[in-house]
Amino acid sequence: MTFPTNLGALIARDSADNDAVAIIGLDEAFNARRYTFAELDAIADAVAHTLHRQYARGERIAVLAANSAEYVATLLGIMRAGLVAVPVNYKFPRALIAEVIADSGARMVFSDPKRSADTPDALPRIVFDSPDETQGFAAFIAEAKAHRGPFEPVAPNENEAALFLYTSGSTGRPKGVVLSHASHLWVVETRLKAQPLQSERVLIAAPLYHMNALALAFLALAARATTVLMPAFNARNYIRAIDTYRCTWLTSVPPMIAMMMQERDLLSRTDLSSVRYVRMGSAPVSGALLDQIHTLLPNAKVINAYGTTEGGPVVFGPHPGGLPTPPLAVGVAHPQVQLRLVDTNGQPADEGELEMRSPGLMNGYHNRADLAPPITADGFYRSGDVFRRDENGFYTFIGRRDDMFVSGGENIFPGDVEKMLERHPLIQQASVIPVDDAIKGTKPVAFIVRKPGAQLSAEAVKKFALEHAPAYQHPRQVWFVEAFPLASTNKIDRAALKRDAATRLAGEGHPPRDLQDE
């Protein structure tokens, strides 16, 4: 395709297959509605026409809703009109939703019936799937859809903003990441050159307010691939969607796949042979989970991917010499991306914080003069993620720098300990967090999800850890849970686990036992 300059114009109008299905939209009851590329494009144009008459270029429009075809079309229409789309995390508490919308400066909110009450009263709201003649989406676009025809997308200036994506806020006030049209058109074009998706059927269940899902939605539109779009992740419906619609490409985060694995009865009678690619991102994947994915989806290539909202999803790629990527590595530096690792003193290292420079970087954080700039003087984004680079140039994720904790003078990255624990044949998932300790400052404890039907004791887990890692890394307490709490982006909610650990320890009335001190 000839690439546009406006990110909202990803649907090519001169294509011969405008009547092909762009989105199969599922609702919570698994009912489906199909939208062709022509229909989706017409909805986006109607949104653009209507907004263009009401708002000035550069003004922000928020979207607070579960995934739907109308959501996708609305994002496209907002950007076509020269406005800035602000997808908002609807899993935030109501007060935080209001804070994020106020911070963005949004002038209007698109919502769905379930989240309409969470929109600020002071702002105009338009509600998807509502018959309301004043606030319903169909009424909002009716005149433009009937009489206005195609909308000529506004040509953006260099680095003009297309989107604000807000970080999850798990470690403080959410930050509005400003993304330009140019940066994410580069992302789409670069990914399509590496792997055309036209023949694929993509399944998206992660939320569109998160980069993982949104970037794939844009990619699928540009590639003329069909997207099966779920309103939110539900393990049983996710499995059913793969089978029913013969999905070939999955994008997911590790906890979503781990939750699939728990549905043993449904999996036993479901055909998942259509899946050819599984792109894992947003959180590290363990060797144990990789093995299970290969067993469950034997026809699929598993892509262990990495990306950030600030730096985009194009960071790593295959080795130029054809060397196979090690199982837990994410690849080598993409040929169009400059990478470097720096230690705590800012010096080059083979293990350290990843810094990157590419055309996919954000413009910066909106309205956050209180933060130190995350971009270095020479244009590299400081990711906060710690990687190790091997002799062949392959990068492996170690952990978040701000997740690292010190126990008795030893640096502990939870991800390192989790990967070790997940090598145990009876452990499905592990999550390691620090708890306070009067002598060592902090000590690691672990929450464990056992494999279905497995019998495993806390002492056996501790013994395994002491046999397979330095003693200071072993979890002083082990608690078994059926599933982990998930944050709004479907990652494990470490803050909730820390609260849970504190409650458990307070109830037990004694500090975690340290086998090193015995």
The pLDDT score that the predictor gives to residue 509 is 59
Cβ neighbors of 194 (< 8 A, separation 6 or more) are 317
Phi/psi for 13 (5° steps) reads: -85, -20
Phi/psi for 386 (5° steps) reads: -100, 130
Has residue 517 got a pLDDT over 50?
Answer: no
Has residue 170 got a pLDDT over 60?
Answer: no
* Six token digits for residue 231: 């309103």
Host H or E run for residue 462: helix 458-468
Has residue 515 got a pLDDT over 60?
Answer: no
> Between 428 and 403, whose confidence is greater?
428
Q: How far apart are CA 271 and CA 474, in angstroms?
A: 40
Cβ atoms of 309 and 362 within 8 Å: the answer is yes
257-278 pLDDT per residue, tens: 878 888 989 999 999 999 999 9
The pLDDT score that the predictor gives to residue 357 is 97
Cβ atoms of 462 and 429 within 8 Å: the answer is no
Please report which confidence band the pLDDT of residue 513 belongs to, taking 50, 70 and 90 as the band edges: very low
Please report which confidence band the pLDDT of residue 282 belongs to, taking 50, 70 and 90 as the band edges: low
Vertex 341, ends 335 and 345: CA angle to 5°?
155
Residue type, 119: T
Q: How far apart are CA 146 and CA 194, in angstroms?
A: 39
Cβ neighbors of 322 (< 8 A, separation 6 or more) are none
- Residue-averaged pLDDT of the chain: 90
Has residue 83 got a pLDDT over 70?
Answer: yes
The pLDDT score that the predictor gives to residue 408 is 73
Nearest of 385, 360, 9, 386 to residue 177 by alpha carbon: 360
Please report which confidence band the pLDDT of residue 243 belongs to, taking 50, 70 and 90 as the band edges: very high
The pLDDT score that the predictor gives to residue 172 is 64
The pLDDT score that the predictor gives to residue 1 is 62
Domain with CATH 2.30.38.10 in the chain: 329-400
The pLDDT score that the predictor gives to residue 252 is 80
- Count of C-beta atoms within a 10 Å radius of residue 417: 24
The pLDDT score that the predictor gives to residue 285 is 66
The pLDDT score that the predictor gives to residue 305 is 86
Per-residue pLDDT, averaged over 227-255, amounts to 93
Cβ neighbors of 178 (< 8 A, separation 6 or more) are 161, 163, 164, 362, 363, 364, 365, 366
The pLDDT score that the predictor gives to residue 284 is 62
Query: Hey, is 480 helix, strand or coil?
Result: strand
CATH class (in words) of the domain with range 405-517: alpha beta
The partner residues of 316 in beta bridges, in order of sequence, read 333
Vertex 35, ends 34 and 39: CA angle to 5°?
155
CATH class (in words) of the domain with range 329-400: mainly beta
Has residue 457 got a pLDDT over 60?
Answer: yes
* Six token digits for residue 61: 């429009």
Cβ atoms of 214 and 87 within 8 Å: the answer is yes
Has residue 240 got a pLDDT over 60?
Answer: yes
Which DSSP category does 308 fall into? B
Cβ atoms of 82 and 57 within 8 Å: the answer is yes
pLDDT > 70 fraction of the chain, expressed in percent and rounded: 95
Highest mean pLDDT among 48-57, 194-203, 466-475, 503-512: 48-57
Nearest of 63, 102, 8 to residue 210 by alpha carbon: 63
| Dihedral sign, Cα of residue 134, residue 136, residue 142, residue 143 | positive
Per-residue pLDDT, averaged over 454-463, amounts to 93
Per-residue pLDDT, averaged over 291-301, amounts to 85
Please report which confidence band the pLDDT of residue 8 belongs to, taking 50, 70 and 90 as the band edges: very high
Query: Hey, is 117 helix, strand or coil?
Result: helix
Phi/psi for 212 (5° steps) reads: -55, -50
Has residue 67 got a pLDDT over 90?
Answer: yes
Per-residue pLDDT, averaged over 30-36, amounts to 97
* Six token digits for residue 206: 């992660």
Domain with CATH 3.30.300.30 in the chain: 405-517
Per-residue pLDDT, averaged over 470-480, amounts to 90
CATH number of 7-232: 3.40.50.12780
Host H or E run for residue 39: helix 37-54
Please report which confidence band the pLDDT of residue 516 belongs to, taking 50, 70 and 90 as the band edges: very low
Alpha helices in 203-325 (DSSP H): 211-223, 235-245, 254-261, 264-268, 287-296
Please report which confidence band the pLDDT of residue 518 belongs to, taking 50, 70 and 90 as the band edges: very low
pTM above 0.75? yes
Has residue 512 got a pLDDT over 70?
Answer: no
Cα–Cα distances (Å) from 276 to 239, 247, 297, 302, 429, in that order, read 15, 9, 8, 8, 24
The pLDDT score that the predictor gives to residue 440 is 75
Per-residue pLDDT, averaged over 51-66, amounts to 97
Vertex 282, ends 228 and 247: CA angle to 5°?
20
User: Strand pairing of 108-111 and 60-64?
Assistant: parallel
Query: Hey, is 351 helix, strand or coil?
Result: strand
| Dihedral sign, Cα of residue 93, residue 97, residue 99, residue 103 | positive
Per-residue pLDDT, averaged over 65-71, amounts to 97
Burial of 120 (0-12, 13-18, 19+ CB in 10 A): middle
